[in-house]
């Protein structure tokens, strides 16, 4: 079979057009031997389009393009028409139809889908990080985290970590227990990324009693006693003072609200 040449033209990497053309080429016998695919990425101006069209004419290539800017699409179609070069617009018709259906003009910014993918993978990485460094399992995470949460048991450290991870932040959380020395890493990190979660004694008492009942245990265990909780809160205050971190009162506060407070503080810190 004769050699068939495809030119892929894109204002970004050209992955979309590459996948589509390869899928199409796979429908023909011995596609790897008979189809030559050449990619032209990050095309930004008309002079580049002119050069590509001229080469396509010389090599009798089919031009397949994914250009998000309507002006670039129209220019390439015009050039191909003048030189009698066959071309296929993979993205233009879809963008135009979606614009009509949605009633909005497209951004016409190359590479946006890649930015979305990067954000997605960053979020997945952050979620995995939060799971790995949950509840002080590995204190090395304190040094790598974007946000560190500390607090006594049942102060919503884990759900808050997961909520923030879904925003793309790497979060480690560490429980504070009077009988256990806090990890040394807490005192070596920037205090501005550490947040102590305070809760009132009475609410924590109610939460811990409910937790014990859920586990089928008596609610008069030391874990839920007022005296024990007060001891833990005093220890919490001591540690947060030593670190010099922000303390948030999570009493009767939703996880989402606490998260928004933390993100606001972080944003202010970056602005300063």
Burial class, 57, CB count within 10 angstroms (exposed 0-12 / middle 13-18 / buried 19+) = middle
Give the CA distances from residue 113 to residues 169, 189, 209, in Å, rounded to whole numbers and listed in that order: 21, 35, 49
pTM, two decimal places: 0.62
pLDDT of res. 178: 97
Q: Is the pLDDT of residue 43 over 70?
A: yes
Q: Is the pLDDT of residue 144 over 60?
A: yes
pLDDT band of 47, cuts 50, 70, 90: very high
| Greatest distance between any 2 Cα atoms in the chain | 87
pLDDT band of 54, cuts 50, 70, 90: very high
Give the residue from 146, 236, 227 showing the smallest Cα distance to 193: 146
Any idea which fold 4-110 has?
Rossmann fold (3.40.50)
Per-residue pLDDT tens digits for 61-105: 999 999 999 999 999 999 999 999 999 999 999 999 999 999 988
Mean pLDDT within 106-117 = 73
pLDDT band of 161, cuts 50, 70, 90: very high
What's the start-to-end Cα distance of the chain, in Å? 66
pLDDT band of 249, cuts 50, 70, 90: very high
Would the CATH topology of 4-110 be identical to that of 116-271?
A: yes
3-state secondary structure the chain: CCCEEEEEEECCCCHHHHHHHHHHHCCCCCHHHHEEEEEECCCCCHHHHHHHHHHHHHHCCEEEEECCCHHHHHHHHHHHHHHCCCEEECCHHHHHHHHHHHCCCCCCCCCHHHHHHHHHHHHHHHHHHHHHCHHHCCCCHHHHCCEEEEECCCCCHHHHHHHHHCCCCCEEEEECCCCCCCCHHHHCCCHHHEEEEECCHHHHHHHHHHHHHHCCCCCCCHHHCHHHHHHHHHHHHHHHHHHCCEEEECCCCCHHHHHHHHHHHHHHHHHC
pLDDT band of 4, cuts 50, 70, 90: confident
Mean pLDDT within 173-187 = 96
The span from the CA of 133 to the CA of 162, in Å, is 11
pLDDT of res. 114: 65
pLDDT of res. 198: 98
- Give just the sign of the alpha carbon dihedral 218, 223, 228, 229: negative
Query: What count of residues does the chain have?
Result: 272
The listed CATH number (1.10.600, 3.30.70, 3.40.50, 2.60.40) that belongs to domain 116-271? 3.40.50
Q: Is the pLDDT of residue 259 over 60?
A: yes
Q: Is the pLDDT of residue 250 over 80?
A: yes
Residue ranges covered by each domain of the chain: 4-110, 116-271
Q: Is the pLDDT of residue 271 over 60?
A: no
Report CA 234 to chain centroid distance, whole Å.
37
């Amino acid at each position: 079979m004769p050699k068939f040449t495809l030119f892929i033209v894109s204002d970004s990497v050209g992955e979309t057009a590459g996948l589509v053309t390869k899928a199409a080429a796979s429908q023909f016998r011995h596609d790897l031997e008979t189809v030559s695919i050449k990619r032209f990425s990050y095309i930004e101006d008309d002079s580049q389009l002119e050069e590509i069209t001229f080469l396509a004419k010389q090599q009798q290539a089919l031009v397949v393009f994914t250009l998000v800017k309507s002006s670039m699409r129209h220019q390439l179609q015009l050039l191909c028409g003048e030189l009698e070069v066959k071309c296929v617009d993979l993205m233009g018709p879809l963008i135009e139809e979606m614009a009509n259906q949605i009633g909005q003009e497209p951004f016409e910014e190359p590479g946006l889908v890649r930015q979305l993918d990067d954000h997605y993978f960053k979020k997945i990485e952050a979620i995995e990080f939060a799971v790995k460094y949950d509840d002080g399992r590995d204190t090395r995470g304190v040094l790598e985290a974007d946000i560190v949460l500390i607090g006594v048991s049942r102060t919503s450290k884990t759900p808050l970590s997961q909520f923030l991870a879904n925003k793309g932040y790497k979060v480690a959380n560490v429980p504070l227990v009077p009988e256990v020395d806090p990890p040394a890493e807490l005192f070596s990190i920037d205090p501005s990324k550490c947040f102590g979660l305070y809760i009132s004694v009475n609410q924590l008492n109610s939460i811990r009693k409910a937790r014990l009942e859920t586990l089928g245990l008596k609610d008069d265990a030391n874990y839920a006693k007022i005296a024990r909780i007060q001891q833990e809160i005093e220890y919490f205050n001591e540690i947060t003072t030593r670190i010099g971190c922000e303390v948030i009162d999570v009493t009767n506060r939703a996880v989402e609200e606490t998260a928004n407070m933390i993100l606001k503080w972080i944003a202010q810190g970056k602005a300063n």
